[in-house]
Structure 1
């Protein structure tokens, strides 16, 4: 890894996990597409997973009391099978195919952030188990391929949990447990290399700084304007990600 990759990569990690600390938004939505402009996407996905596990381990104890355990069980019970499927695709799919899939998912989620009211299901009093299992499997599959497990899981949990604090805490818990499952699958498939683990250590200071800064500022930002900025970043990253893939580079 050269100095340019280290500096630019550290900035990307800081921004993406700072956003997650502020909003709960999946850091992979920003981190994976931007880092993949510097590093092979098949390296970026497991690398970003290491960051996610570290982030989750830091805050999971603080938010566990607000987690909706029944929703958590539904999501985790089906997502593991999805992770198994997705990780196999990651191991064998071409880099351009992964870029196209990832950019499409990012664009869809950016639209969801821009128009939250029109993309949210009505709140249900009792869990819709079949729909939950389907969303869990879809989230696990997509997460295994691209690291972007958020959209299907967020769609289901938002239809089940009205309180924003409990929703954020439940999402973080689901993502953290899924990330641990993905670590086991990626390890079994040999996706974690010595070089990758060394790269993770290089980016650790910017990750720690992001967690600290995000925790300080998360109550001081206008949510509407902030969401517009985040959506703009996501759309730009999707465009930059898909152009080389469409050109076949």
Structure 2
């Protein structure tokens, strides 16, 4: 049961705001930080179930300012690749218990930080590679899988997008349209698996204004804020929450 009180809002408002700002202005790369944070106070299934309707609201809000500015060929690869990834995520969810979900969410969160650190140190140089269309479908499938489990499709998609030499706005718009469609894909299996509940939907109603305002804040910050500062805070946030989830799952 979700108790909608001070503790809930203390975790949910910053989590949703952070995700919305990322959706609106920073390539969705930090949007999945909300699920690990909410999983600290909610069962993992409730955390991801609560976030999906809010992510759809964010997607709809972000589409307008970035409409038509995406690279459709790249978006199509990520979207079509995302379908089997979502299906695989649904199959895994059927056999995973709460601790297994906590472990998966925590590993994805910490793994993303490690990957970004390796890229920043020059151990991984994606810009040197020029993968073809097949790589887009492959990374789209990985993004669909991680998106289903913890709304963490942004990092795998970034592995492919960062090799495509897109400008900042085209990159942002491409992620917006790609994940708007992938999140719509997830509605059917989430409903069939009982991930949504009356409680999560009621909680969502309180948080919709935060989601909308956060996206518009992200669109504005997209033009003026240093991305390194925003993502630096994200990585610290993810490291702490990811490690906590892994510890909880193992103990």
C-alpha displacement of 1:240: 1.8
C-alpha displacement of 1:27: 4.7
**Deviation per residue, 1:193-220 (Å, 9 max, x gap):** 2222112112223223322333333333
5 Å matches for 1:98-137?
A: 98-114=101-117, 116-117=119-120, 118=122, 119-122=124-127, 128-137=132-141
Do residues 10 (structure 1) and 13 (structure 2) align? yes
2:56 to 42, 53, 68: 53
Instruction: List runs of 5+ in structure 1 lacking aligned partners.
Output: none
C-alpha displacement of 1:103: 1.4
SS in 2 for 1:56: helix
TM-score of the superposition, structure 2-length normalised?
Answer: 0.88
What is the root-mean-square deviation of aligned Cα atoms in Å?
2.2
Which one is further off, 66-75 or 110-119? 110-119
C-alpha displacement of 1:29: 2.5
C-alpha displacement of 1:176: 1.0
Answer whether contact 1:29 1:234 (CA < 8 A) is retained: no
Equivalent position of 2:78 in the other structure: 75
Q: Following the alignment from structure 1 to structure 2, what is the Cα–Cα distance between the partners of residues 106 and 65?
A: 31
Q: Following the alignment from structure 1 to structure 2, what is the Cα–Cα distance between the partners of residues 190 and 13?
A: 22
Instruction: List runs of 5+ in structure 2 lacking aligned partners.
Output: none
Distance verdict in 2 for CA 1:165–1:112, change over 3 Å? farther
Q: Following the alignment from structure 2 to structure 1, what is the Cα–Cα distance between the partners of residues 157 and 32?
A: 14
C-alpha displacement of 1:67: 0.8
Do residues 172 (structure 1) and 176 (structure 2) align? yes
2:217 to 213, 219, 231: 213
C-alpha displacement of 1:171: 1.3
Corresponding pairs, count: 246
Which one is further off, 168-177 or 145-154? 145-154
